[in-house]
Each structure stands twice: as structure tokens, then as C-alpha cells.
Amino acid sequence: MDAKILAADEASIKRVADALLSGEVVALPTETVYGLAAIISDDAALQKIFEIKARPLIDPLIVHVLDLSSLMNLAQVGDDLFNKLYRLVDAFCPGPLTFVLKKRKNISNIISAGKKTVAIRMPAHIVFRKVLHLSGPLAAPSANPFGYLSPTCTAHVSASIGHKIPYILDGGACEVGIESTILDLSGKRFAILRPGVITLEMVEDVLGEKIIPYRPLVSTDPSAPGMLKQHYSPRTQLRLFEQFPEREISHFQENRSMKTATVYLSREKAQSQNIAVLRGNTVFWLSENGDLNEIARNIFGVLQRLDRMNFDAIYCQIPQKIGVGIAINDRLVRAAAKF
């Protein structure tokens, strides 16, 4: 039976919260991507998340809480760290920033993948927050099969795992469009483990100190989600480029009669290229003028759409590694790794 997509009214929010409290796993909207949620105190429900996603147990889950007080009940935070954490929460939360902290004993090893740390964030989406008011803290990775493109609307969730869950709560299209920044606060030096729309420079401005920048490491034992080599991938062959790959696309068309899609960062960039000569190639763009936040908001949605259009290959332009471009670049590089 396919999941029921529920409008986010008060009755449906209570219905979903009751389902969570009874051990169900459901899909909820966040400002980043849609999440597959379960109560953090129910190991059987947490196990369902991994089974539904076919997610390896080595990959930790992110816990979602309402506020700093709820976070403090789940993580060990000393006085000095608390002062810095408070400044970050005041500046960015609720919002797309996840903290990695030393965990308390009430955090299941299923959530932390057996590690001594836990990843926690305070989502900004009003619908998710209303559910949290009724349910308490929830673990919620992205609501998709493990390794596939992240879902940014109910249709993406329904098409991929809708037959495995009872409810999808409809909160509209995700405003941010890519996963949260992950900031590791568990060591002597703070570090960005996963880039997002909250950038290194933004964090450093709030803290008044330098932190370790994101390094695109590949891990077989990740300390946070999104650190595996291959992730966020479409089923269609994905190839990345910085400049227009006319020679490569023409070669594929001449020799393999491929039907291709080319995705540009902006409309103006797409329209400046001589694309009419490329038989079988269809052009798309992610923003009007190259705005990185708009690109981040649209990237998974565009790739989801193209992945269902029977193209032989998708060519996607990648941004420079500056600001939010670092996060977009990271998602695309990992998405293309399987090809």
C-alpha cells in the first residue's frame, strides 16, 4: 500500500505524531530535504529507518530537537563549550546547522553507529517543529533509498519509498534544498564535516576564531552523514564539467546515439552556448543568474526530474568552490562518483 500524503493541518500533524509514538516511521518536511523520522527512544523504529533506506548501520543518524534545552538532554556540553554553542544556536538555529557533540547515555548506539558522539540539529520548518512538540526528539535521515538523490518534495518521497511507509506529511518544496552543514564540536578544534548553506566564514564570524575547513574526505567509517565516496546519485550516468563540454557530448552522440541532458548553473550561461547543433541534447538550468542559494534549492529537484526522463547521460556544470558553491560541488562530486 502506498503512503498517504497528508496536508499539514493540525489533525494530520497529530495523526503523524501519534503514529511516531506508536513505533511507525514516517516522512516529514524540513527546510533542507524531506526526512524519514522515528522516535529516538524506540530501537525497533530506528532499525526500520535503516531497513527502509537499505542504509548501512555504520552511517550515523541526525537527531532533530526543538531547542537548546532539548539538545542539552542528549549531549555532554561543558561550560566553555556551552558559551560557544549558545552563540551558534543564537545565530543560526533553528536552521540548517547540525552539531556533532559527545553523546549522553540515553542516545542509542543505533543512532550514533556505536560512536561516542551524536549529531543534533534544530530544524526550522514549522511543520516538523509542530510534530516535535507532540512527539519529542526524532532521528531523521533523508527520506530516500540510501545513496540516491535527496528528496525535496513529497513526489520524490512517494516515488522512491512511498510503498514502505504509512504517511508523508506535505510541507511543500524544501526551501534550502540541500542537507545541513555539519559542524564537529566534539574535539579540541572545531571542524566542518559536511558543507551546507551555512558556510565556514559565517561560523567563524560568530565564533571569532578559525575552525578546520571542510576537507572532502572519503570514509568507510563516517563520523557524520554524507562522508561516503558515493552518495546522492541518480540512476542515470552523471558527468560533471566546468565549461561547455561540446566536444565530449558530440562524441557520445556520434558514436553511441545518446540522448543527453546538459544542466547549467544559470539561464544566461545556457543561452550563451551554441547548443542547437547538438542533436539529442536538451538544456536545463538551475538558476536565472547563478545565485548559489537558488542553485542549491533546485539541484536535487532538477536531477530527480531528469533521472525519470530516460536520458542516457546527464551533464551538469559545477560551481567554483566558494561559499555555498563548496556544498553544491561536494554533492555533485559524490553523486557522480559511481560513474
Last residue of a domain, one of 186, 207, 228: 207
In a domain, 28, yes or no: yes
Residue 228, domain member (yes or no): no
- pLDDT value at position 271? 72
Rg for the chain (alpha carbons), in Å?
A: 20
My answer on whether 131 and 22 are in the same domain is yes
Same domain, 177 and 255: no
Q: For the chain, list residues with pLDDT below 50.
A: 276-277
- Residue 112: inside a domain: yes
Instruction: Give residue 276's pLDDT.
Output: 46
Under a CB-based contact definition with an 8 Å cutoff, are residues 313 and 281 in contact? no
* Kind of pairing between the strands at 4-7 and 281-285: unpaired
* Main-chain phi, psi angles of 271, to 5 degrees: -75, -15
**Domain count across the chain:** 2
Grid coordinates representing 323 are 561559499
Distance between CA atoms of 334 and 276, rounded to whole angstroms?
A: 30
Query: What was the pLDDT predicted at 339?
Result: 79
- Do residue 147 and residue 291 come from a single domain? no
Same-domain pairing of 44 and 133: yes
CATH number at residue 201: 3.90.870.10
**Is the residue at 264 inside a domain?**
yes
Structural domain contains residue 105: yes
CA angle 151, 299, 57 (to 5 degrees): 45
- Note the pLDDT of residue 243: 75
In a domain, 219, yes or no: no
CATH number of the domain residue 308 falls in = 3.40.50.11030
Q: What are phi and psi of 316, to 5 degrees?
A: -130, 130
Same domain, 145 and 20: yes
Query: Are 288 and 192 found together in one domain?
Result: no
The predicted structure's pLDDT at residue 191: 96
Tell whether the torsion through CA atoms of 315, 329, 181 and 335 is positive or negative.
Answer: positive
* Same-domain check for residues 134 and 249: no
Based on the fold, state whether residues 196 and 313 are members of the same structural domain.
Answer: no
The verdict on residue 217 lying in a domain is no
Cell (9 digits) for 111: 543512532
What cell does 283 get? 538544456
Same domain flag for 260 and 183 = no
Same domain membership, residue 180 and residue 244 = no
Structural domain boundaries, residue 273: 237-336
pLDDT score for 56: 93
Give 122-184 as a DSSP string: ----HHHHHHHHHH--EE--BSSSTTBPPP-SHHHHHHHHGGG-SEEEE--S-SS-SPPEEEE
CB 229 within 8 A of CB 223: no
Q: Is the peptide bond before 195 cis (omega within 30 degrees of 0)?
A: no
User: How many helices (H) and strands (E) would you count in the chain?
Assistant: 12, 15
**Measured in whole angstroms, how far is the alpha carbon of residue 249 from the centre of its chain?**
30
Q: Are residues 14 and 59 in the same domain?
A: yes
pLDDT at position 338 is: 85
Determine, yes or no, domain membership for 227: no
User: With contact defined as beta carbons under 8 Å apart, do 327 and 319 qualify?
Assistant: no
CA distance 228 to 221: 8
Chosen domain end from 164, 190, 207: 207
CA 302/CA 300 separation, integer angstroms: 6
- Per-residue b/e over 22-57, b at no fewer than 16 CB within 10 Å? eebbbbbbbbbbbbbbbbbebeebbebbbebbebee
- 68, with CB counted inside 10 A (0-12, 13-18, 19+), is middle
Q: Please indicate, yes or no, whether residues 182 and 319 belong to a single structural domain of this protein.
A: no
The string of DSSP letters for 37-59 reads EEETT-HHHHHHHHHHHT--TTS
